[in-house]
Amino acid sequence: MRPSSSPSDGLLGGLSGAPDVDAELSDPAVLQAMLDVEAALARAAADTGILPASAAEAIAEQCRAERYDPGALGRAADATGNPVVPLLGELTAAVPEQARAWVHLGATSQDVLDSALALVAVRALGPLLAHLDAAVDAVAQLADAHRDTVMVARTLGQQAAPTTFGLKAAGWLTGLAEARDRLHQVRAAQPAQLGGAVGTLAAFGPVGAEVAERFAAHLRLAPSPLPWHTRRQPWLDLAAALGGLLVAAGKVALDVGLLAQNEIGEVAEGGVGRGGSSAMPHKRNPVDSILVTAATRRGPGLVATLFAAAVQEHERAAGAWHAEWEPLLDLLHVAGGAAARCARMLAGLQVRPERMRENLDATGGLLLAEAVAARLTPAVGRRVAHDLVTRAAAEPSFRAALLTDPEVRAHLSETELAEALDPHRWLGSADRFVDSALAAVRGASG
């Protein structure tokens, strides 16, 4: 057998995937899943007395991927529109003659590929979720450790008011944890597909539904109340959950990339020897941030393809079903890479509290304008307070303008102004929000 590469092999694939996730997406892995489906089908039929148990085990004995060449099957698939048909020819020839009549009994090609891809998704989500667990653990530690680390909050691209890095990390944490929860739910719900030619399982007679239940049990997939040949909600749920993961990881990556800019310099990615430039020796690029961001740019198109393919005609689709296979595997590939790189990025993230404070103080207290206005409002009203603070903000030194403005000083002492300009006093419920985020994640994992 000629070995077939995984998505992580090659010149570019390793930049978007994760080896342990991609091992479950490789041609041999998909082929093994297809063969696992054929073995489960035979055993389910034997469980219900449709075929001899000896025949089922003879079929299962030949359901090992190393016996077949994925490349050759792929080339042969051009004649039939899917790789199941040529695989069945080789599988039937491989089993003992007395068992050949029972190969693929009652099923159709879509049953095999849909169930196999559900198996592939379940298997690939194992290592993907392990990476996501690591990312959640790492960002939870950042949120806890930096709950009192003040920094600039930025809105619409501009400095806005003080916040804490702990609260920013808590936002990342919540997004990643929610994505993880959805993926666990979708993984547990991945259904087996068994409907036969038109979704009736007529070849099994009155025990068709029982065969389908036993089939799902053998595959350890969720049973489906009826075949979902043209009801593609399982793939839509999976695509949406993977897309959600890419958004959550992409949010972290985007923020890290922006905070790592030289002009800001509040964080940096770790890793010796990473981030070099071919032209500029001084550069240290945030490589994981960049690659996770790249994955987020690919994800929406893949999700959209799966949704576009989901409206399918009659009992079996002509083309829409075929359009799903590669985008689904590609989406698992890029999501796995994003989860792994996000975990690495967060685990090695270098946080620079001193630089955060420098940036916070760079505008001479302007970021506390809202806090000063809030102190003035009880005495002069909200509108007048806003106008007084706006006038002071237009001066070269905001602090000095406040201290020398008689209308401001009539209501606020120097001590009260100092308190208003202390960023630690204008953090609202930031600490409680961090606690809430940590409690939610720890409660879910506990």
Output the domain CATH number for residue 117: 1.20.200.10
- In this predicted structure, the answer to whether residue 314 has a pLDDT above a threshold of 60 is yes
Q: Looking at 182, 316, 341, 375, which residue is catalytic?
A: 316
- In this predicted structure, the answer to whether residue 169 has a pLDDT above a threshold of 70 is yes
Distance CA 334, CA 14 (A): 10
pLDDT band at 4 (very low <50, low <70, confident <90, very high): very low
Active-site residue, 316 included: yes
Q: Say what the pLDDT of residue 3 is.
A: 45
Q: Write the pLDDT tens digit of every residue in 264-278.
A: 999 999 865 565 544
Q: Is 273 left (phi over 0), alpha (psi -120 to 50) or beta?
A: left
Is 195 inside any structural domain?
yes
| Residue 189 · residue 395 · CB < 8 Å | no
Residues 364 and 352 in one domain: no
Q: Say what the pLDDT of residue 7 is.
A: 75
Residues 147 and 183 in one domain: yes
Q: Say what the pLDDT of residue 62 is.
A: 97
Residues 350 and 404 in one domain: no
DSSP letter string, 111-179: HHHHHHHHHHHHHHHHHHHHHHHHHHHHHHHHHHHTTT-EEEEEETTEEEEEEEHHHHHHHHHHHHHHH
Distance CA 216, CA 132 (A): 27
Residues 283 and 426 in one domain: no
- Mean of the per-residue pLDDT values of the chain: 93
Q: Write the pLDDT tens digit of every residue in 68-79.
A: 999 999 999 999
Distance CA 310, CA 236 (A): 8
Q: Say what the pLDDT of residue 1 is.
A: 40
pLDDT band at 442 (very low <50, low <70, confident <90, very high): confident
Is 3 inside any structural domain?
no
Residues 276 and 399 in one domain: no
Distance CA 242, CA 386 (A): 45
Active-site residue, 100 included: no
**Percent share of the chain, pLDDT over 70:** 95
Residue-number span of the structural domain to which 370 is assigned: 358-445
Last residue of a domain, one of 315, 335, 357: 357
Distance CA 83, CA 79 (A): 9
Residues 366 and 342 in one domain: no
Last residue of a domain, one of 326, 357, 388: 357
Residues 289 and 389 in one domain: no
- In this predicted structure, the answer to whether residue 280 has a pLDDT above a threshold of 50 is no
Q: Write the pLDDT tens digit of every residue in 196-238.
A: 999 999 999 999 999 999 999 999 999 999 999 999 999 999 9
Is 400 inside any structural domain?
yes
Residues 284 and 319 in one domain: yes
Q: Looking at 5, 54, 277, 445, which residue is catalytic?
A: 277
Q: Say what the pLDDT of residue 148 is.
A: 96
Residues 154-163 have a mean pLDDT of 94
Q: Say what the pLDDT of residue 271 is.
A: 66
Q: Write the pLDDT tens digit of every residue in 237-260.
A: 999 999 999 999 999 999 999 999
Is 96 inside any structural domain?
yes
Last residue of a domain, one of 330, 357, 384: 357
